[in-house]
């Protein structure tokens, strides 16, 4: 019993320390002390903290406190995505869509966006809806587009709300004009 308690205590203490270091890194980041944020987040990222990994991706993507390096940003996003970070998944999708660092791959972009969308990422839900609506890199499917726009809009995504409003107000995508439905999304 004592052994289980000690293991639990060590786990909780370690988690508390990591959360404090992560928060201290956020404070440093918001005040523009990117080097300090990097110093605080790097050890956490190396211990597979998805938030710290994602944050390092941001630092390297934007060249904040480090030299801009899209390849390193990509690596940190991949590690964070493997640990379930949906914003990292979204950013990977965007990098694949643009062909940053890696060869442009709409298929891989949609794979990452769909994974993030299924886990509730509103921006990814919007992107997947657009892909379905226009049949760009996914087979055109208006029912799926509407479904994903509604999920995204329900989380407050303004672009998804606007897309739904226009779709119903103007009868886009062969959807019947529906002023009442359009008004819901205005």
Residue 57 shares a structural domain with residue 108: no
The CATH number of the domain where 3 resides is what? 1.25.40
Please give the tally of structural domains in the chain: 2
Residue 104 shares a structural domain with residue 183: yes
Q: What is the chain's pLDDT, residue by residue, as a tens digit (186 residues)?
A: 544 443 443 343 345 556 788 998 889 999 999 999 999 999 999 999 999 999 999 999 999 999 999 999 999 999 999 999 999 999 999 999 999 889 999 999 999 999 999 999 999 999 999 999 999 889 999 999 999 999 999 999 999 999 999 999 999 999 999 999 999 998
Nearest Cα residue to 74 out of 41, 38, 109: 109
Which residue reads 């995508």 in tokens? 173
Residue 73 shares a structural domain with residue 165: no
Q: Where are the beta strands (DSSP E) in 95-153?
A: none
Are 28 and 40 contacting, i.e. CB atoms less than 8 angstroms apart? Answer: yes
Among candidate residues 51, 84, 117, the one where a domain is terminated: 84
pLDDT recorded at residue 72: 97
Distance, in Å, from the CA atom of 124 to the CA atom of 136, rounded to the nearest integer, reads 15
Are 66 and 48 contacting, i.e. CB atoms less than 8 angstroms apart? Answer: no
Q: What six digits make up the tokens of 108?
A: 């891989």
pLDDT recorded at residue 16: 57
Residue 93 shares a structural domain with residue 105: yes
Residue 11 shares a structural domain with residue 41: yes
Residue 95 shares a structural domain with residue 25: no
Residue 12 shares a structural domain with residue 100: no
Distance of CA 29 to the CA centre of its chain: 19
User: Which residues constitute the domain of residue 19?
Assistant: 1-84
Among candidate residues 52, 84, 116, the one where a domain is terminated: 84
Which residue reads 């786990």 in tokens? 11
Q: What six digits make up the tokens of 52?
A: 């710290």
Distance, in Å, from the CA atom of 145 to the CA atom of 152, rounded to the nearest integer, reads 11
Residue 95 shares a structural domain with residue 15: no
Residue 79 shares a structural domain with residue 94: no
């Amino acid at each position: 019993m004592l052994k289980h308690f000690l293991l639990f205590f060590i786990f909780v203490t370690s988690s508390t320390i990591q959360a404090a270091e992560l928060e201290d890194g956020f404070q440093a980041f918001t005040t523009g002390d990117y080097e300090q944020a990097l110093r605080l987040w790097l050890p956490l990222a190396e211990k597979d903290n998805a938030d710290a990994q994602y944050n390092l991706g941001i630092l390297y993507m934007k060249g904040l406190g480090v030299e801009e390096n899209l390849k390193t940003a990509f690596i940190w996003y991949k590690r964070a995505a493997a640990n379930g970070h949906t914003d990292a998944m979204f950013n990977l999708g965007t990098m694949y869509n643009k062909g940053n660092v890696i060869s442009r791959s709409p298929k891989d972009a949609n794979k990452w966006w769909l994974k993030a969308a299924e886990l509730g990422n509103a921006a990814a839900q919007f992107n997947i809806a657009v892909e379905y609506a226009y049949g760009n890199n996914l087979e055109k499917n208006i029912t799926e587009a509407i479904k994903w726009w509604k999920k995204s809009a329900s989380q407050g995504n303004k672009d998804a709300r606007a897309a739904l409003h226009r779709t119903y107000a103007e009868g886009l995508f062969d959807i019947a004009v529906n002023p009442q439905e359009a008004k819901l999304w205005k």
